[in-house]
Amino acid sequence: MAATRERKVPALVDKPMDFCPGCGHGIVSRLIMEALEELDQLNNIIFPIGVGCSSNLGAGLECDRLHCCHGRAGAVATGMKRVSPDTLVVSYQGDGDAYNIGIAETFNAAYRNENITVIVINNTNFGMTGGQMSLTTMEGQKTSTSVHGRDCSVTGYPIRFPEIVAREFPGAAYAARGTVTTPANINKLKGYIKNALQAQLNHEGYSIVEVLSPCPINWGLSPVKAMERIEQELIPYYPIGEFKKRGEEQK
Amino acid sequence: MAEMMKGNEAIAEAAVRAGARFYAGYPITPSSEIMEYLSWRMEEVGGSFVQAESELAGINMVIGASACGVRALTASSGPGISLKQEGISTLCDEGLPAVVITQVRYGNGLGTLFTAQCDYNRETRGGGQGDYRCIVLCPSSVQEFVDLMAPAYELSEKYRIVVIMMGEGTLGQMMEPVTLPDFVETKRTPWALTGKYDYKKIGIFERDSRKEAVELREKYDAIKENEQRWFDEGIEDADYVFVAYGVPGRATLGAIRELRAEGEKVGLIRPITAWPFPEKAFAKINPACKGVITVEENATGQLVDDAALFIKKTHKDRNIPAYALTYVYNTPPIRSIKADYFRIKNGEVKEVY
Ligand SMILES: Cc1ncc(C[n+]2csc(CCOP(=O)(O)OP(=O)(O)O)c2C)c(N)n1
Ligand code: SF4
Ligand SMILES: [Mg+2]
């Protein structure tokens, strides 16, 4: 008889979080908690949380956390970290939160090289409010505010923020993008998250991990098809990998 | 020993002495010297200073520092304070203390650089979304401003509320003799986020907004009952009672003293808390009083709404008229206040209520 293995819930998660079936948020939340556990930081963590489906994280956690005004987590995290330099401060935000409404705070926290970690769940739309277009929506992608498909000539092109950090902010410690499409990618992503947290623990500076994450409900796709869309459409535009490695000199 | 100091610098030093250890903000005349001073001073006392990318970011940094239990400060004026309103509402929602200084300047939109009292309604009503109030202190001299900094933090922590220091351009820019208070020892607040989750918090979707709203109202009622502050002079036998705060309150005090010396029975209520409004002072007013007169640095008359409300509430048997002398901006000279008083007395000015 095969031994049954019990699935362990990370210690910081005390309640189920209400994500849609096939949503990527849950996987990423779990990876962050596992990484914290492995780094022995369960008792040394504050989450400033964005507004969006990311807010569900705050509903399901048993740890210090604060729901920020939509888009302002970069500023809230700055205030937290400046007065608590030895406590891990990890913002958890959506693409709309971090890049649309919050681009000033996100950009400036990176620019100042705040010693914080930013996790951005890029699902190429505003999931929570019904799938409107965001700065990461792909060219031609249909959303509830780009019903004929995104026209980049009048709405701009999808933003690649971790690349900007890696290219423009010499002090930044770490910038990467991962995804949750396969076990291999999930393992890789966990490594990125751990690197980001370790950079912060060592006071190396700003770290950001963006995650390409499925939003099957608003994409109008099944969970499996949504994963395929990431592989086929998103990764070619939004490459997976580390754009700024720890300890790496600016090119 | 009193020392001549520029208002904004004295206020910034007083904040440090009151235990402020975090400042974030964005420059704007006439408040900028507060952040300039703190940009080097915070470091000296082991605090932190951030020149934020905007007032919006500034107040959100204050939220972060306050959530971690540190006495936090931001300062601004006019449009900058408008940008902070969502953050102030959020501080109230989370029950986080903070002190926000506004050195008021006149005007809508970008406005002007003239000293004014045009933002009375915004500060006293809670200018952001929702159903909340802030305690609003309105000093009339640099010394009073300095002396109120420690009480401002005490009140904000006692009630877990935002305290607005509603100054005026003049209070930031003028030099006056100041005696600085001693340093206050502070500890992180008991509800501080430490990373260890010592202070338990329920999940965002489990909050009972109806219950919280009722508790909040009880808190506001307690503040109204216990925290009214004001200065008054000559109101028990006055025919006319002036109501004025801040620097115009000081000018009005000069005016009533001169008028008294000329035989006019006039008095003054100078609110030190604009919210809670010093309703209790109105109970002391001569029941036979012929009118209350506000002196305001704005054009539309804002303080007069509160003065009228409370004179009519506390003297229900008589419909005592409320007049507003509105000087738009800049501190009105004593002679103007006196001349306008005589116009009211002679029936040349129509009451507002
Ligand atoms: C100031 C403000 N504007 C608008 C909203 C409404 N709102 C809530 S979440 C959201 C979009 C969130 O999108 P994203 O950050 O991508 O998160 P997702 O739900 O996709 O994970 C918006 C517009 C708000 N809460 N506050
Ligand atoms: S709307 Fe999209 S992002 Fe939000 S929970 Fe559902 S699948 Fe996830
Ligand atoms: Mg999104």
Contact of B56 with chain A, judged by CB distance below 8 Å, is answered with yes
Predicted pLDDT of residue A49: 97
Does the beta carbon of B84 lie under 8 angstroms from any beta carbon of chain A?
no
pLDDT for B107 equals: 96
Whether the predicted pLDDT of A205 surpasses 70 = yes
Please state, as a whole number, how many other Cβ atoms lie within 10 Å of the Cβ of residue A201: 16
- Atom 6, ligand 2: which residue's CA is nearest? A20
Task: Give the pLDDT band of residue B299 (cuts 50, 70, 90).
Answer: very high
User: Taking CB atoms and an 8 Å cutoff, what residues of chain B touch A74?
Assistant: 57
Considering only CB atoms, which chain A residues are within 8 Å of B52?
A: 75, 108
The answer to whether residue B17 scores a pLDDT higher than 50 is yes
A124/A234 Cα distance (integer angstroms): 9
Mean pLDDT of chain B: 97
Ligand 3 geometric centre to CA of B98 (Å): 32
| pLDDT of A11 over the 70 cut | yes
Q: A203: how many CB neighbours lie within 10 A of its CB?
A: 10
Phi/psi of residue A178, nearest 5 degrees:
-130, 180
Ligand 2 site residues, Cβ closer than 6 angstroms:
A 19-20, 23, 25, 53, 123, 127-128, 215-218
Q: Closest ligand 2 atom, CA of A18?
A: 5
pLDDT band of A1, cuts 50, 70, 90: very low
Q: Above 90 in pLDDT, residue B82?
A: yes
Q: How confident is the model at residue A42 (pLDDT cuts 50, 70, 90)?
A: very high
Could you give the domains of chain B?
Answer: 3-226 (3.40.50.970), 231-345 (3.40.50.920)
Q: Per residue in A69-99, pLDDT tens?
A: 999 999 999 999 999 999 999 999 999 999 9
Average of pLDDT values for B247-271? 98
Give B149-168 pLDDT, tens digit per residue.
Answer: 999 999 999 999 999 999 99
What sections of B73-141 are H helices per DSSP? 78-83, 85-94, 120-125
Q: Of all protein residues, whose CA lies closest to atom 25 belonging to ligand 1?
A: A70
pLDDT higher for A229 or A56?
A: A229
ipTM above 0.85, yes or no: yes
- CA–CA min distance B9, chain A (Å): 23
Q: Which of A45, A59, A78 sits opposite B61 (nearest CB)?
A: A78
Here the tokens at position B167 are 């100054």
| Residue A102 CB less than 6 A away from ligand 1 | no
Query: Residue A164 pLDDT > 70, yes or no?
Result: yes
What confidence tens digit (pLDDT) does each residue in B130-141 have?
Answer: 999 999 999 999
Whether residue B171 lies within 8 A of chain A, CB to CB, comes out as: no
| Residues whose CB is less than 8 angstroms from the CB of residue A224 and which lie 6 or more positions away in sequence, other chains included | A22
Report yes or no: B195 at the A interface, CB cutoff 8 Å.
yes
Domain architecture of chain A: domains with CATH: 25-244 (3.40.50.970)
**Chain A touched by B39 (CB under 8 Å):** no
Task: Name beta bridge partners: B50.
Answer: B24
Structure confidence at residue A251 (pLDDT): 55
Taking CB atoms and an 8 Å limit, are B204 and A82 in contact across chains? no
B205 touches chain A (CB under 8 A): yes
**Residue nearest atom 1 of ligand 2, based on CA coordinates:** A127
Query: Is residue A118 over pLDDT 50?
Result: yes
How many CB pairs lie under 8 A apart between chains A and B?
A: 126
A56: left (phi over 0), alpha (psi -120 to 50) or beta: alpha
Contact call for residues B34 and B176 (beta carbons, < 8 A): no
Per-residue pLDDT, averaged over A34-50, amounts to 97
Q: Which atom of ligand 1 is nearest to the CA of A128?
A: 19
Q: What is the mean pLDDT of residues A228-233?
A: 98
- Select the residue from B22, B91, B193 to test the A interface by mutation, using most A Cβ atoms within 10 A: B193
Q: Is the pLDDT of residue B27 over 90?
A: yes
Q: What rounded mean pLDDT belongs to chain A?
A: 95
Once rounded to an integer, what is the mean pLDDT over residues A117-146? 98
- pLDDT for the residue numbered A250: 58
Q: Say if residue B203's pLDDT is above 80.
A: no
Q: Ligand 3 is a single-atom ion; what residues have CB below 5 A from it?
A: A 94-96, 123, 127
Check pLDDT > 90 for residue A12: no
Whether residue B255 has pLDDT greater than 60? yes
In the prediction, which pLDDT does B272 show?
98
Q: How many CB atoms lie within 10 A of CB B85?
A: 17
Sequence-ordered strand ranges (E) for chain B: 3-6, 22-25, 48-51, 72-76, 98-104, 135-137, 162-168, 175-178, 230-233, 240-243, 266-271, 273-275, 291-296, 322-326
Contact residues for B106 (Cβ-Cβ < 8 A; gap 6+): B112, B114, B115, B116, B118, B297, B298, B328, B329
pTM beyond 0.95: the answer is yes
Binary contact (A79, B53; C-beta < 8 A): no
